[in-house]
Structure 1
Amino acid sequence: MSNEERILELLFAESGKDDDELSLRSGVKPRQQVNQICRRLEAKGLITRRLGPKGKILNYAVHSWETAAPLNQALQARAKIGLDQIEAGKRGLLQCEPVRTLFLVPCSASKSDGGLPHSTGPRLTDHLSEAVKTRLIQARQAVARRAYLNEELLRPALERYQGHFYQVAREKIREARGRGIHILIISGGYGALLPEEPIGNYEAAFSSNWWPKGLLSDVVQAYAAQHKILSVRAIVAASTTYQKAVASIDWAAAGIDDVVVVSPQVSGGGQ
């Protein structure tokens, strides 16, 4: 086995290591040789190199589970899955290419007040075709009154939602988004949105009867096509409108045949 293969194999097993750690773990010395190898692997698109929290460059295998590791705690909190099942998830349930996987989660009945009159931030509509974008905007306008939507003050969805799932997973989701993980929130007031999307306050769980038939499916398909999504992992409670919404999406039309839905037996959205 070459030194390059040894480094790559180690990163697939334990991603997020700096050059010094890789040198120590792999036995490849001096450390400068590891640095050169990692730069070559990055140039080939096999790994990425990013600045870590302690100021050192960390190496990540492109297809490694560790790219999506911040979602481990979020998944465990939502589905009450034990650590042994999380480990199994690495091999099965969540065995996927993280940066080309779309995670779907529900909104929360519990929300924070406040915000800013004008708030900038990414919006899901920026990732859609003009036709689908227009339909979603029109549908949101039609639902606004029924959902008691108040947009006088705006906050990012990730900060607006205050249910248990978001209290536990907020920072993990934020970290995952920073690493390029795709996450959409199924929302009673907005249909679907990005975690960073500025939203107002509203009082509504997702109801398929309020939204045009097939719209959610078209929105998710458009987003998936834009980002070349290969897999979907949805975390929604069983026997809820959120679970039914996910089930209604025409994944085959989006060219996606790897879909896993985690449905814990709890009520409501993200609570």
Structure 2
Amino acid sequence: METVLDTIDPREALAIIGPSKAKHRGGGTAGSGAAWPEPMLRARADVLARSKVDDGGLLPAWRRYSGNFYRNVGGALGEAAASGRLLILSGGYGILRADEPISCYDRKLRLGDWPPGVLEDAVLGEARRIGATKAVTFVSASADYAKLARRIPWDIEALLVTIEFHGGGAQVEVPRRLAQAFSAWWRRSPSDYPAGMVVEELG
């Protein structure tokens, strides 16, 4: 399957994925990395104060989630996290760097929870910080995660990867196929892209 996605080198792009409702519990203590802008941190504190948060320890964000995407993505996720070029969208934390230590929480992303522009600015600021000239987001088409990707005023080339799937079992099949799409992109193996993959140009 030839797609514009093939023209973007994962090691030069900002990669963005969604979270999952299922999470690993527990954790330890961990330090913090590069700071986020103050408006994002203030908004995050406000949203977390209204969320269900388990103070049973911290885990790097990419290890916290345990849903179908995370169970199926394989070694590509750890490699992307180690590259320092992976962001995770989060209902409780807003925008997360993959290695950022977080608590176990329960909150779906609702764009109305966040002040206008705060999440968008955080994503664009991260792209500038790491020097990315391209961005690729892998999320479900129906949730606010895709809406956020579409409303970011991208000043770099940006793609949104979703899955078109009709029928029963979408809650399992869509994240499984997104994981397959992410892994195939990361490994530069376009023959492994899943059925129903849709690539939308945003910027």
Which band: TM-score by shorter chain? Answer: 0.7 to 0.9
2:26 matches 1:114 = yes
Verify the 8 A CA contact 2:19 2:90 in the aligned structure 1: yes
Deviations 1:16-66 (A, max 9, x none): xxxxxxxxxxxxxxxxxxxxxxxxxxxxxxxxxxxxxxxxxxxxxxxxxxx
Verify the 8 A CA contact 1:187 1:193 in the aligned structure 2: yes
**Partner residue, 2:59:** 155
What is the one-letter code of the residue matched to 1:199?
I
Verify the 8 A CA contact 1:107 1:161 in the aligned structure 2: yes
TM-score by length of 1: 0.58
Deviations 1:187-222 (A, max 9, x none): 011001011111001111111011111111100111
The 2-side partners of 1:202 and 1:105 are apart by 17
Residues 225 and 99 from structure 1, CA distance in 2 versus in 1: closer, same or farther, beyond 3 angstroms? same
**Partner residue, 2:14:** 102
Residue number among 63, 81, 96 corresponding to 1:177 in the alignment: 81
1:136-151 equivalences under 5 Å are 136-151=40-55
Name the SS of the counterpart of 1:189 in structure 2: coil
Rg larger for = 1
Residues 157 and 191 from structure 1, CA distance in 2 versus in 1: closer, same or farther, beyond 3 angstroms? same
2:155 matches 1:244 = no
The percent of aligned pairs where both chains have the same amino acid is 29
2:126 matches 1:223 = yes
Measure how far apart 1:228 and its partner are. Answer: 1.8
Verify the 8 A CA contact 2:31 2:101 in the aligned structure 1: yes
Name the SS of the counterpart of 2:123 in structure 1: helix
Name the count of aligned residue pairs: 170
**Which consecutive unaligned segments of at least 5 residues does structure 2 have?**
165-169, 177-203
The 1-side partners of 2:64 and 2:109 are apart by 16
**Partner residue, 2:200:** none
2:78 matches 1:167 = no
Q: CA RMSD in A?
A: 2.2
What is the one-letter code of the residue matched to 1:137?
L
2:5 matches 1:93 = yes
What is the one-letter code of the residue matched to 2:90?
S
Measure how far apart 1:145 and its partner are. Answer: 2.7
TM-score by length of 2: 0.76
